[in-house]
Amino acid sequence: MTLERPSPGTPVRAPATPDCGGVSIVFPVHNESFIIEQTLRNYIAELGARLPDCEFIVCEDGSTDDTKAVLERLTEELGFQLYLSNERKGYQRAVMDAVARASKPWVFVVDSDYQFAAIDYWRLEPYRLTHDIILGIKRPRRDPFYRVWLSAGQNWLLRRFFNVPYRDMDTGFRLFRKVAYDAVAGEIRHLSFFTAEFVVRAHHAGFRIHEVPVHHYARKIGSTTIFFISGLFAICVRQFAAILRMHAEFRRRRLFRPRQGRQQDGRGGRI
């Protein structure tokens, strides 16, 4: 499958699809004091009035900079739900705890570093009518070379080990049915980064998944707190070991979908 770059220009806004149900817009946040205000203002301005039934949820994950103070200052003005943590949970647990707060039938989880434009949500919205999980994949990707390399390697391994067709399973821009998440969330335990394991398990549970190219932008300020060049080797070893454990679990529990059930990838294309 070949994915095109997102079309130039402004995505067509709406119409929203209220018959699909409301959307919880969730932001996991850790040490983003310099960018989180811009991120929240942008997303709330873009989506707050255009999605008929939505809520905004911010789950802070043990930040050590001024993120907590910024969020506490903004919450009354912008009207989002705020949950603070005194301890660092790590990315996977922080995202899962954030999604657990969602009350709407759909959940839109966005990384808080402002590398995705809020208006690109509308590229995902039409697929709520036909799919259960919609992934906004980075085209082109504006991360440091080592993150691009690490992600490409992990996605290649996941495709090989689990026979899934998806190209960017750890995207930070994803829209999904809460029932799809609830069906597999209790099993997510191996990979460090929530979305990839969620996508693999949801695929083999029979949920319909679609990838949509969206614009991706370089970080405007600060740097990632997850990936450091000095720790790349250890990250690679841990992730490869986690994929092996997950594959062994799938084989032991016979979680792989039967081959005849994987003749289409959820988008009408052959695998």
In this predicted model, what pLDDT tens digit does every residue of 79-103 receive, in sequence order?
999 999 999 998 888 999 999 999 9
* Residue 121 belongs to a domain: yes
* Residue 2 belongs to a domain: no
Name the token pair of 254. Answer: 């016979």
Domain span at 142:
21-257
Contacts of 261 (CB under 8 A, 6+ apart): 206
* Dist CA 264 CA 160 (whole Å): 17
Name the token pair of 55. Answer: 């809520």
**Confidence class of residue 265 from pLDDT cuts 50, 70 and 90?**
very low
Contacts of 202 (CB under 8 A, 6+ apart): 132, 133, 176, 180, 183, 184, 209
pLDDT at position 213 over 80:
yes
**Confidence class of residue 267 from pLDDT cuts 50, 70 and 90?**
very low
Start-to-end Cα distance in the chain:
8
Mean pLDDT for 192-206 is 94
* Residue 5 belongs to a domain: no
* Residue 12 belongs to a domain: no
* Residue 265 belongs to a domain: no
pLDDT at position 161 over 70:
yes
* Dist CA 52 CA 215 (whole Å): 25
What is the pLDDT, as a whole number, of residue 141?
A: 78
What is the pLDDT, as a whole number, of residue 218?
A: 86
Q: How far is CA 138 from the centre of its chain?
A: 11
How many other β-carbons are positioned within 10 Å of the β-carbon of residue 95?
24
* Residue 182 belongs to a domain: yes
Strand order across the 54-60 sheet? 81-83, 54-60, 23-29, 106-110, 173-177, 133-138, 209-214
* Dist CA 61 CA 103 (whole Å): 20
pLDDT at position 140 over 50:
yes
pLDDT at position 73 over 90:
yes
86: domain CATH number?
3.90.550.10
- For the chain, what's the residue count? 271
* Dist CA 178 CA 109 (whole Å): 11
What is the chain's mean pLDDT, rounded? Answer: 88
Distances from the Cα of 128 to the Cα of 44, 54, 56, 97, 248, angstroms: 20, 15, 19, 23, 33
Mean pLDDT for 206-231 is 76
In this predicted model, what pLDDT tens digit does every residue of 228-237 receive, in sequence order?
555 677 888 9
* Residue 240 belongs to a domain: yes
* Residue 76 belongs to a domain: yes
What's the total number of domains in the chain? 1
What is the pLDDT, as a whole number, of residue 193?
A: 79
Nearest CA to 209 out of 139, 138, 141, 128 is that of 128
